[in-house]
């Protein structure tokens, strides 16, 4: 397959970045394995960048699990690691030979895992054959659009194809599969992620137009693999252009601001919840009432944050994050949550009496 006219190429070949997103244990790694086989049959060079392999184990051990803030803690901790993976990938795309010979410069990337991912991607030295297409499968949860947009930006920067596959799997199946793993993700994290996961939405985000959804509650079929390969082929034939990035900058800024507002509001809400629990203990609430209070407050917080994020994305007009008074937006929003918090606390204290 020859590179299309006007296509920026990696060592003379077209390339594609394909995002595989969905809940933990939704089947992303199994799909990646099937796609690697299908790509090999077509003579493509392909690599599956599995973030939980590339990111060192110690990153997992730093994730705090407390007060319902699990997913935001994971988001904050993983953000630097995800960015390191994309930086490493960009370096490889620009200088593949050098970047395979060297060890990753960042301690945020597992060097052995990186070498394993990329060792089969280079052409034999001195080869005169037409270079085969390059396919990179990025395997992570990617539960926020802003996470996926970072990959889209890299595809634009390097004039590569970009596409997304959302693996839709029911919660019960994901939890069951996850529990059978040697290193399962805490179930609480999966439950929290369900509330916040935002699947690709081509109608809302123009950059997500090359996206499909697969129902992976059952086993993947050959038809599923073919459907994804057709999507990837289309993306390879229609690489993104850096010149188009400016037309989407406003949308990207909105995503960035929404993430910032939501994160700061989450931190403030968690402090308010801690204060409410302290007040409840001082009023000598029973264990049952304490559990009920914690559950209601955390459920209210999750709904509040989701609504806040949606409101920022849809209603706040701005061109860049610095044009928005994020502190003021957070302050006003958290005041609304605080009123609900006080109402819930007072109701349960009265029930206890």
Q: Write down the pLDDT at residue 244.
A: 61
- Mean pLDDT score, 261-267: 91
Higher pLDDT, 146 or 12: 146
Among the residue ranges 20-24, 56-60, 200-204, 289-293, the one predicted with the least confidence is 56-60
Residues 26 and 173 occupy one common structural domain: yes
Asked, for residue 8, whether it belongs to a domain, the answer is no
211 and 258 in a single domain? The answer is no
Distance of CA 91 to the CA centre of its chain: 21
State whether 205 and 299 are in the same domain.
no
Among residues 240, 257, 282, the one where a domain terminates is 240
Domain end point (choices 205, 240, 275): 240
Amino acid 28: pLDDT: 95
What is the percent of the chain with per-residue pLDDT over 70, rounded to a whole number?
Answer: 79
The two tokens of residue 169 are 């799997």
Same-domain status, 200 and 325: no
- Residue 216 within any structural domain of the chain: yes
Nearest to 137 by CA among 14, 13, 17: 17
The domain total for the chain is 2
In a domain, 9, yes or no: no
Number of H helices, E strands in the chain: 13, 5
Write the CB contacts of 316 (distance below 8 Å, at least 6 apart in sequence): 254, 257, 324, 329
- Please name which of 312, 339, 343, 307 lies closest in space to residue 328, comparing C-alpha atoms: 312
Beta-sheet strand order (sheet of 45-50) = 45-50, 134-139, 15-22, 161-168, 211-215
Q: Is residue 5 part of a domain?
A: no
| pLDDT value for 11 | 64
In this structure, of 50-54, 221-225, 274-278, the range with the lowest mean pLDDT score is 50-54
Domain match, 231 and 268 both: no
| Nearest by Cα to 162 from 139, 136, 182, 180 | 136
Query: Does position 300 have pLDDT exceeding 90, yes or no?
Result: yes
Tokens of 289: 């009432």
190 and 232 housed in the same domain: yes
| CB atoms inside a 10 Å sphere around CB 274 | 13
User: Half-sphere exposure (CA, 13 Å, Cβ side) for 135?
Assistant: 33
What's the pLDDT band for 224 if we cut at 50, 70, 90?
very high
Which pair of tokens denotes residue 26? 């939704």
Q: End of a domain among 240, 261, 279? A: 240
Residue 82 has pLDDT above 90, yes or no: no
Instruction: Give the CATH number, domain containing residue 62.
Output: 3.40.50.300
Question: What is the DSSP secondary-structure string of 180-244?
Answer: TSSSPPPHHHHHHHHHH-----TTT-GGG-SEEEEE-SS---HHHHHHHHHHHHHHHHS---GGG
List CB contacts of 106: < 8 A, sequence separation 6 or more. 84, 87, 88
Helix (H) or strand (E) holding 266: helix 249-282
Q: What is the pLDDT of residue 321?
A: 41
Question: Does residue 315 lie in a domain region?
Answer: yes
Q: Does one domain contain both 137 and 236?
A: yes
Query: pLDDT band at residue 61, thresholds of 50, 70 and 90?
Result: very low
Task: Check whether residue 50 and residue 86 sit in a common domain.
Answer: yes
Residue 222 inside a domain? The answer is yes
Helix axes 145-157, 249-282, angle to 10 degrees: 150
For residue 227, is pLDDT > 90?
yes
Residue 47, H or E segment: strand 45-50
Is residue 6 domain-resident? no
Q: Determine the average pLDDT of the residues in 248-273.
A: 84
Question: With pLDDT > 90 as the criterion, what percentage of the chain qualifies?
Answer: 44
Chain position carrying tokens 């599995």: 50
pLDDT tier for residue 78 given thresholds of 50, 70 and 90: low
Sorting pLDDT into bands at 50, 70 and 90, what band is 57?
low
pLDDT band at 322 (very low <50, low <70, confident <90, very high): very low
DSSP helix/strand/coil, 136:
strand
Examine the domain organization and report whether 215 and 293 are in the same domain.
no
Q: Domain of 171?
A: 15-240
- Say if residue 37 is in the same domain as residue 74: yes
pLDDT over 90 (residue 222): yes
In a shared domain, residues 161 and 266:
no
Read off the pLDDT of each residue in 286-293 and give the average, rounded to a whole number.
Answer: 90
Query: Rounded to whole angstroms, how far apart are CA atoms 21 and 150?
Result: 14
Q: What is the mean pLDDT of the chain?
A: 82
pTM: 0.66
- pLDDT on residue 243: 65
Same-domain pairing of 199 and 138: yes
The DSSP output letter for 12 is: T
Domain membership flag for residue 1 = no
């Amino acid at each position: 397959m020859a590179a299309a006219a006007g296509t920026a190429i990696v060592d003379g070949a077209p390339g594609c970045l394909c995002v595989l997103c969905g809940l933990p244990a939704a089947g992303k790694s199994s799909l990646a394995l099937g796609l690697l086989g299908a790509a090999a049959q077509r003579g493509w060079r392909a690599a599956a960048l599995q973030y939980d392999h590339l990111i060192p184990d110690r990153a997992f051990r730093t994730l705090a699990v407390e007060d319902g803030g699990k997913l935001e803690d994971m988001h904050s901790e993983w953000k630097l690691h995800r960015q390191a993976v994309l930086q490493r990938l960009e370096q490889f795309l620009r200088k593949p030979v050098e970047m395979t010979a060297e060890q990753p410069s960042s301690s945020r990337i597992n060097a052995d895992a990186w070498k394993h991912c990329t060792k089969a991607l280079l052409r034999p030295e001195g080869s005169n054959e037409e270079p085969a297409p390059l396919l990179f499968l990025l395997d992570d949860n990617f539960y926020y659009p802003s996470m996926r947009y970072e990959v889209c930006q890299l595809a634009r920067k390097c004039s590569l194809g970009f596409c997304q596959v959302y693996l839709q799997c029911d919660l019960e199946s994901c939890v069951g599969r996850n529990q059978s793993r040697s290193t399962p993700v805490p179930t609480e994290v999966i439950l929290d992620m369900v509330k916040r996961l935002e699947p690709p939405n081509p109608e809302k985000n123009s950059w997500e137009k090359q996206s499909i959804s697969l129902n992976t509650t059952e086993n993947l079929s050959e038809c599923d693999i073919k459907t994804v390969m057709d999507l990837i082929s289309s993306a390879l034939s229609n690489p993104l252009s850096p010149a188009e990035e400016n037309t989407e900058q406003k949308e990207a800024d909105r995503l960035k601001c929404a993430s910032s507002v939501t994160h700061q509001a989450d931190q403030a809400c968690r402090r308010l919840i801690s204060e409410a629990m302290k007040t409840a203990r001082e009023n000598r609430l029973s264990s049952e009432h304490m559990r009920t209070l914690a559950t209601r407050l955390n459920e209210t917080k999750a709904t509040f944050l989701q609504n806040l994020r949606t409101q920022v994305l849809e209603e706040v007009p701005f061109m860049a994050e610095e044009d928005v008074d994020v502190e003021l937006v957070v302050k006003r929003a958290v005041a609304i949550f605080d009123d609900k918090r006080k109402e819930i606390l007072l109701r349960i204290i009265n029930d206890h009496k």
